[in-house]
Structure 1
């Protein structure tokens, strides 16, 4: 590995498959993930088996060393595996002694053929040494490397028309007639073989995996094994304990309605106030339920052998989940494009579902789901693409009536801006450009990654107290509190200061970030400002006012 390091250091400048980072004692996991995605994709495009992220070396290639330990490396590995899609991690983490300093060589595998690597739903790439989104040309270049066989179009030689449900075929004829009213008189004259060929469920009269999924008798499911045609509906109470369940199998064309019937779509009553809200609405709009469920069927990766889950929570949440990665770059891209997706996991199945009036290909389905939730002042659909699954959660209620009512008064907000604010409110990451867009309209404040709703929005929405909790106070406020405590009681232990400060630090910080912020604050007060000093030990500090601070106070 010392030869590898020497070779990397000999490169004139950083390139698409080599990145140097100083990282003396730690490295931000989110940044690491973005570089992982970019370097992996670029290695694929350059025909390299791997790329390298070198920690402990500055951009100018001067070696400064790193103290990152094995536990931290294991954390980085787990983080990569949890948030990349497809699920990948480092091919190796090599520690090299160079000029008596430790250097870490993180070996990043090239993206699999035909499958670009994403980090938290976003695909990254590089232009020279600059990090950015994977551009459309590079994306298509990777995706076109292998044309995977369409599982849904595979023919089952042993199966026949007898393995299909007569009731499902009758429903298919009705759905096809609704989709194609000009053929309404002609459709009844077709025999089943002709009809199934024209609706593109069968191929030259032969039964396909799609035909079994949508129209097959329940006992015909074995033909598609190890794939399954199962949808599980599960009801959970407020404590997340399972109360009821039911499994559904082919023909899915008929069973979709039975699954929808299991969902207890109660009426949601708003608090009456003016004309912003109607008196009552369905918790879950029927269009959203239909769209989400049929999307699961169309985009499920049946080669993984999983089933589709529909989990209903008694506290007003509905979750749909199917196996597989999300092929478009992100939900935001889908909504912004508002156009048909160019790549489908199961193109034959998707086309058949279009013909049977189950889904459309105009690209507006997901956007319409967001608009429906927005117009009801419900939280927007929440997508998660981790762990080789596509999960969408629909909330069937207003989480905060006052916030929703006031937010509705900000008529100038676009759907995209409301989506970004929704992500900020859920403590989800947003890109630099997205943050700039919101900041330019004074909608958010804070520094990456700890953004929060701005004071102007908080004022309009009546969330001023929560705004202060999210933003926190300036560091001087906390320092004065520590000084006041020591003046009152003579000294302060670490436990005293933790108890005094940690709970009132910005709400957007997690516990580890709060501890780091407080530790840095104490370091500044003792080493730079010299307002306090430690008369105890490093393990058990006893903080007192420094002599210079005491003398200064006396003079004042």
Structure 2
């Protein structure tokens, strides 16, 4: 009771608000929101007009207070609820610290504590606070309800070892200090707390805090949405595991054709899509997405002729599908920095350049990617080479060169075939006839004007 007597002596203040009972919980929530947006404080239920009147206490009462706060105040917070006093003079104390992720809203309205009042934050002040917050990044912010126990320290140690291998020297610091230097942990009072990036990258259970941080992959049997799925999977866990497991699944669901090259005993493999492109677009989708968008997740659709990567949130300000090769901006710079340390992403600004180079150097030269910003998400589509299926056939090198020639020039004649491959007219005739029979070439014209195009 000493604590309550001390409170009664000073009355309500910028740190304390009194309510007669939890029947006034709705009004009490305004104070909780105000404390979060100011410097913290407590609401006491069971005090009226400077006297202790007592508050009935049960498990359901305490649970109801916690649920109401979590349901009505956003971003979500967990209050500290304590029962003071005994008998009929029990008082419920609901305490919150100053919020780490301001602004906080009660049913869409932001309050702040001024003296012993809870006032609505005026529009011009709201705008100033929001503008200042935009200068910071979501992944740098402290994850409100997480603590060091939510970090997978084995994963942190794995990261440290991989980083040491890459830089070829020993890191003489603890895993905790290393994560702090990478902004995966930050000081909060006298403790280190995980940031949002720290939870995503090294958390035991990131979905506990961010339910929609999973990746869904749907594999279709044709070129259209709506057809029967060959497979559909959800991947969750920490971001490092999601990247590795999802990349493995994608590679298992694309085609690799082997063919026998003349003069060689071993067969050569051609992948439907460049492996680097598959991984880089996957990492981009999870590292650049907008994690503040609720109810959205990364979705990857694998079709017979293309793969679509859909990532929540628009392109960052100043970046468009047209200038993405020239301009660089990161929505989540902490994530990108950590992933770059262990070579999960390219150096800053180099990822898209290499994507285009890898596609251009693919043996069958597929079309370049399509980038679409819908405003709600970014969709990147990569395309399978149109001639890919022909590489599943046992064609000779001459025929493959002719296919490439016809694809680039639009057509090929018998004379051009002979010159290209340095073969006789009879060999050229046999090779071209086989391509025609297999429905790879289409014949146009007659006699000396005959040309062959890709079908």
Match of 2:216 among 225, 232, 236: 232
The corresponding residue for 1:267 is 256
TM-score (norm. length: structure 2): 0.50
**Mapped contact 2:215–2:298 kept (Cα < 8 A):** yes
2:269 corresponding residue in structure 1: 280
1:147-296 superposed matches below 5 A: 147-181=134-168, 184-185=169-170, 187=171, 189-204=172-187, 205-218=192-205, 220-224=206-210, 228-238=212-222, 240-263=227-250, 264=252, 265-268=254-257, 280-296=269-285
Q: 1:391 matched to which residue of 2? A: 379
CA distance in 1, matches of 2:312, 2:384: 24
Secondary structure of the 2:368 match is: coil
Query: Contact 1:168 / 1:251 at 8 angstroms: preserved in 2?
Result: no
1:348 to 1:191, Cα distance in 2 relative to 1, 3 A = same
Q: 1:504 corresponds to which residue?
A: none
1-structure distance, mates of 2:229, 2:132: 44
Deviation at 1:168, TM superposition (A): 2.1
Which position in structure 1 is the counterpart of 2:298? 308
- In 1, distance between residues paired with 2:367 and 2:268? 18
3-state secondary structure, aligned to 2:324: helix
Q: Which stretches in structure 1 are left out of the alignment for 5+ residues?
A: 1-143, 411-458, 467-556
SS of the residue 2:193 aligns to = coil
Q: Is the 8 A contact 1:271 1:279 kept in 2?
A: yes
* Equivalence map 1:82-121=2 (5 Å): none
TM-score normalised by the chain length of structure 1? 0.42
1:462/1:200 Cα in 2 relative to 1: closer, same or farther (>3 Å)? Answer: farther
Give deviations 1:223-273, integer Å, cap 9, x for gaps: 236xx2211122111153222222112211122111111122421357989
The CA deviation string for residues 305-349 of structure 1, in whole angstroms up to 9 with x for no partner, is 211112222x142221101112254344232x3xx61x3212222
CA distance in 1, matches of 2:150, 2:175: 13
- In the alignment, structure 1 residue 379 sits paired with structure 2 residue 367: yes
For the Cα contact (< 8 Å) 2:143–2:199, is it kept in 1?
Answer: no
Q: State the alpha-carbon separation in 1 of the partners of residues 134 and 145 from structure 2.
A: 26
The reply to whether residue 357 of structure 1 matches residue 340 of structure 2 is no
Equivalences, count = 259
Work out whether residues 212 and 250 of structure 1, in 8 Å CA contact, stay in contact via their aligned partners in 2.
Answer: no
SS at match of 2:163: helix
1:355 to partner: Cα distance: 2.6
Tell me, in whole angstroms, the C-alpha distance in 1 between the residues paired with 2:262 and 2:353.
28
Q: 1:285 deviation in Å?
A: 1.9
Deviation (angstroms), 1:169: 1.5
Structure 1 residues 273 and 146, CA gap change in structure 2 (3 angstroms):
farther
Give the number of the structure whose residues are more often strand, by fraction. 2
Structure 1 residue 367, shift from structure 2 partner: 1.9
Q: 1:408 to 1:164 in 2, by over 3 A?
A: farther
Give the secondary-structure state (helix, strand or coil) at the position aligned to 1:310. Answer: strand
Q: How much has 1:408 moved relative to structure 2?
A: 4.5
**1:463 CA drift (Å):** 6.4
Which digits, 9 at most, give the CA deviation of each residue in 1:142-201, with x for residues without a partner?
xx99835411111024322221223421331133224433xx22x2x4222112112332
Structure 1 runs of 4+ aligned residues shifted over 6 Å read 270-274, 400-403, 461-464
Distance 1:197 1:318 in 2: 37
Deviation at 1:462, TM superposition (A): 6.7
Whole-angstrom distance in 2 between the partners of 1:333 and 1:371: 16
| Partner Cα separation in structure 2 for residue 300 and residue 366 of structure 1 | 16
- CA pair 307-404 structure 1, distance change in 2 beyond 3 A: farther
Contact residue 321 and residue 373 of structure 2 kept, 8 A: no
Match of 1:330 among 320, 332, 335: 320
Question: Residue 59 of structure 2 corresponds to which residue in structure 1?
Answer: none
CA distances 1:261-288 after superposition (whole Å, capped 9, x unpaired): 11224213579899xxx95311222211
Contact preservation (8 Å) 1:165, 1:251: no
Cα gap change, 1:166 to 1:371, in 2 (>3 Å): same
Conservation of the 8 A alpha-carbon contact between 1:215 and 1:250: no
Aligned to 2:10: none
Q: 1:160 to 1:146 in 2, by over 3 A?
A: closer
Aligned equivalents of 1:344, 1:262: Cα separation in 2:
27
Taking structure 1 as reference, are residues 171 and 407 closer, same or farther at Cα in structure 2, changes over 3 Å only? farther
